A and B are shown apart, each in its own frame.
Chain A
């Protein structure tokens, strides 16, 4: 009975996490937040797997744990690649912005507000 509720608790958490992650992924335009939202979705799915390990109240199934471990490795690799790409994109955007401001400075010799760090 206790194990049953445990499994259900995990499932409930999974559904809530999945909703949070999906909403975060679909409604934000910030690309780092999207990556974080994907990680939250990943956690939700790991919760489903952990709940699956508790299906049989007499024995804990080890296979889902192995799957979660593998999943975590993959998620870490994906996130690392994403962060690397994101930092490259930001660098690119900054350098282009820098060039643009330099050109504008030459052209007008006027002061302008520097919008640093605003990247999209």
Chain B
């Protein structure tokens, strides 16, 4: 009785944001849209907290068989340890960004287009995290892609339109590769349910081909190093709330799918050579992304390149997964949460700086710490997490990864992690250094900008520190369940 009540609540994760989207589409008044959105975001946080606490307390995944049609005919929604953490993170970051967006947009026209798309995006994110059927995941992935592209496009500048078009092409190609993988799997095994495929999966040529196509497609969507070319433009030209959710969550959704395929569904075909190759791409992403972030001329471009670099860490975990799966899994989940909160808060504060100053050219941002203390404070706090300094969540995640690499006897990853941390501190201190220097001539910046909407971002920045301070409790909880 009790568990079935929780199981049915999984359906709320998909229906509530969808209802919010439709209401935001139908309602005319901007104010009502804002109140509705904040209300729905708060309710979703409560639901996700309740579900996560149930999953972690009872140590069993929640399942909802839609319409009581059991697989292989029906579709199953599953909420295990990994996905409940992802859902919790999505709902909290979603609330922070929702709150921020209620004060962000300068024109009502833009804002009225923003809210319905925003809720479609949240629906699709929740859908990816609870879906346990590879074709259903494809649908959610496409919804996610279309909503993200439209959200970038509502910015309306020529650059944003071009970036969103490029993102659309890459996104469509990526999900088509994924669909090809799904088609091959269906042809080989005749089922679509994650668990059933995992039971049937064998090491044969068609499974290898399917995993290769899915990996290629998801690499495009995650912006792993050689296929990252679309990300900096797309993420830096969108409006601040959109950049925040794209960098913090949308990329992680593609990573989540990829991770599941490699280490839960098609595990028999995973070879040491394949994971090492992925790990090398991750290492290259760390170095290249950090370098480009260091030379980036604009603040938001810098933060976007930092995402390219940080995604690399998640892929460096792949070769470690084969040796020490349990600890690495914890490290990956920890890293996703730490990076998600930090990057969302960082993009929001960068957005406030851009709004207040009117541009985000780094060279002209000297001395803004005086005018925008809260934004720079948030930027600094989240920087500690991205660099991996204690006591932030990023530190714990990197520490776990370093430990694993040493345990696995693969010291070269340790070197990469250290270089990555150094480069991250180089490009982030570059911003902080500029923010605190006194400009030579009397400042041209005339900044009278309210920072009160940054409260949500400040909350996220505090979360990155809290998850660092409560590390032992959190890691043991994730490790016991995931």
Q: Indicate which residue in B145, B150, B176, B187 contacts A42 across the interface (CB closer than 8 Å).
A: B176
| Contact (Cβ within 8 A) B184 A48 | yes
Q: Residue B201 at the A interface, CB < 8 A?
A: no
| Contact (Cβ within 8 A) A81 B146 | yes
Count of A-B contacts judged by CB separation below 8 Å: 76
CA distance A61 to B192 in the complex (A): 13
25 contacts between A and B (CB under 8 A): A25-B173, A31-B169, A34-B169, A38-B173, A41-B173, A42-B176, A44-B180, A45-B176, A45-B180, A45-B183, A55-B187, A63-B186, A63-B192, A67-B186, A71-B179, A74-B139, A78-B142, A78-B168, A81-B149, A82-B165, A85-B153, A85-B165, A86-B165, A89-B161, A89-B162
| Contact (Cβ within 8 A) B168 A81 | yes
Chain B: interface residue total (CB-CB under 8 A): 26
CA distance A64 to B173 in the complex (A): 20
Within 8 A of B (CB), among A76-113: 77-78, 81-82, 85-86, 88-89, 92-93, 96
CA distance A55 to B183 in the complex (A): 12
| Contact (Cβ within 8 A) B164 A85 | yes
Q: Indicate which residue in B150, B164, B190, B192 contacts A55 across the interface (CB closer than 8 Å).
A: B190
Q: Residue B158 at the A interface, CB < 8 A?
A: yes
Q: Indicate which residue in A31, A42, A63, A96 contacts B165 across the interface (CB closer than 8 Å).
A: A31
CA distance A48 to B173 in the complex (A): 16
Contacts of B165 in A (CB 8 A): 31, 82, 85-86, 89
What is the minimal beta-carbon distance from A112 to any residue of chain B, in angstroms? 23
Contacts of A44 in B (CB 8 A): 180
- Nearest B residue to A96 by beta-carbon distance? B158
Rank and list the top 10 A-B pairs by shortest CB-CB distance, nearest first.
A52-B187, A48-B183, A92-B158, A74-B142, A85-B165, A49-B183, A45-B180, A89-B161, A38-B172, A78-B172
Interface string of A56-82 (1 = CB under 8 A from B): 000001011001001100100110011
| Contact (Cβ within 8 A) B146 A78 | yes
Q: Residue B6 at the A interface, CB < 8 A?
A: no
Q: Residue A12 at the B interface, CB < 8 A?
A: no
| Contact (Cβ within 8 A) B161 A38 | no
Also in contact, A85 and B168, with CB within 8 A (given A41-B176, A55-B190): yes
| Contact (Cβ within 8 A) B150 A81 | yes
CA distance A39 to B95 in the complex (A): 37
| Contact (Cβ within 8 A) A77 B146 | yes
Within 8 A of A (CB), among B147-198: 149-150, 153, 158, 161-162, 164-165, 168-169, 172-173, 176, 179-180, 183-184, 186-187, 190, 192
Q: Residue B54 at the A interface, CB < 8 A?
A: no
CA distance A44 to B149 in the complex (A): 24
What is the minimal beta-carbon distance from B69 to any residue of chain A, in angstroms? 12
Q: Residue B263 at the A interface, CB < 8 A?
A: no
Q: Indicate which residue in B161, B176, B184 contacts A92 across the interface (CB closer than 8 Å).
A: B161
| Contact (Cβ within 8 A) A49 B186 | yes
Also in contact, A45 and B179, with CB within 8 A (given A38-B169, A74-B142): yes
A45-B183, A74-B139 given; 5 more Cβ-contact pairs under 8 Å: A44-B180, A49-B183, A52-B187, A70-B139, A81-B146
Q: Residue A8 at the B interface, CB < 8 A?
A: no
- Nearest A residue to B145 by beta-carbon distance? A78
What is the minimal beta-carbon distance from B177 to any residue of chain A, in angstroms? 9
CA distance A78 to B183 in the complex (A): 20
- Nearest A residue to B182 by beta-carbon distance? A67
Among A61, A85, A96, max chain B CB count under 10 A is at A85
CA distance A14 to B204 in the complex (A): 21
Q: Residue A35 at the B interface, CB < 8 A?
A: yes
- Nearest A residue to B168 by beta-carbon distance? A82
Contacts of B146 in A (CB 8 A): 77-78, 81
What is the minimal beta-carbon distance from B428 to any residue of chain A, in angstroms? 34
Q: Residue B262 at the A interface, CB < 8 A?
A: no
Contacts of A85 in B (CB 8 A): 149, 153, 161, 164-165, 168
Q: Indicate which residue in B135, B176, B184 contacts A67 across the interface (CB closer than 8 Å).
A: B135
What is the minimal beta-carbon distance from B411 to any residue of chain A, in angstroms? 38
| Contact (Cβ within 8 A) B169 A82 | yes
Among B149, B153, B172, B184, max chain A CB count under 10 A is at B172
| Contact (Cβ within 8 A) B169 A48 | no
CA distance A44 to B162 in the complex (A): 27
What is the minimal beta-carbon distance from A56 to any residue of chain B, in angstroms? 9
Contacts of B142 in A (CB 8 A): 74, 77-78
CA distance A117 to B153 in the complex (A): 23
Among B150, B164, B187, B192, max chain A CB count under 10 A is at B187
Contacts of B179 in A (CB 8 A): 45, 71
Within 8 A of A (CB), among B131-151: 135, 139, 142, 145-146, 149-150
CA distance A18 to B176 in the complex (A): 11
- Nearest B residue to A88 by beta-carbon distance? B161
- Nearest B residue to A54 by beta-carbon distance? B187
CA distance A41 to B178 in the complex (A): 12
CA distance A42 to B177 in the complex (A): 9
What is the minimal beta-carbon distance from A10 to any residue of chain B, in angstroms? 11
Contacts of A45 in B (CB 8 A): 176, 179-180, 183
| Contact (Cβ within 8 A) B186 A64 | yes
Contacts of A71 in B (CB 8 A): 179
- Nearest B residue to A52 by beta-carbon distance? B187
- Nearest B residue to A51 by beta-carbon distance? B187
Contacts of A67 in B (CB 8 A): 135, 183, 186
CA distance A96 to B158 in the complex (A): 10
Contacts of A70 in B (CB 8 A): 135, 139
